[in-house]
Amino acid sequence: MKSKNELKLPPKATLKDYQKYVMDLEKRRGFLQQTAIEKCLMLGEEVGELFKAVRKKEGLKVDKKNSKFKDIPGELADIFIFILSISNKFDIDLEKAFINKEAINKKRIWN
């Protein structure tokens, strides 16, 4: 049975909705005290786990005996959560930042 206080995203969640969701879950789980530096370090760990999962999926040599492998979608989700969390730490509207950065990227010449 689901709790009435369970966090939920709206059916057509926006990036802002995801940022708020992550803020709320960090409050609930007691993670708000973690600093931006701690979040960045944990993001780096998650990126490393993604790389390991991609290496395995792509058939590259990996230490199967001493390494634990996770799934790529799960690692991408973890990375997304940390990016949202870091954005929240600096009060950055990630959707706006994306739009602004993409406006710059569109003007670049890619060879």
pLDDT per residue, tens digit, the chain (111 aa), is 555 678 899 999 999 999 999 999 999 999 999 999 999 999 999 999 999 999 989 988 888 777 777 899 999 999 999 999 999 999 999 999 999 999 999 999 988
Residue among 54, 93, 95 at smallest CA distance from 72: 54
Instruction: Give the pTM.
Output: 0.87
Instruction: Give the per-residue pLDDT at 2.
Output: 53
Task: Determine the Cα–Cα distance for residues 43 and 28; give it in Å rounded to an integer.
Answer: 20
Q: Which domains does the chain have, with CATH numbers?
A: 15-106 (1.10.287.1080)
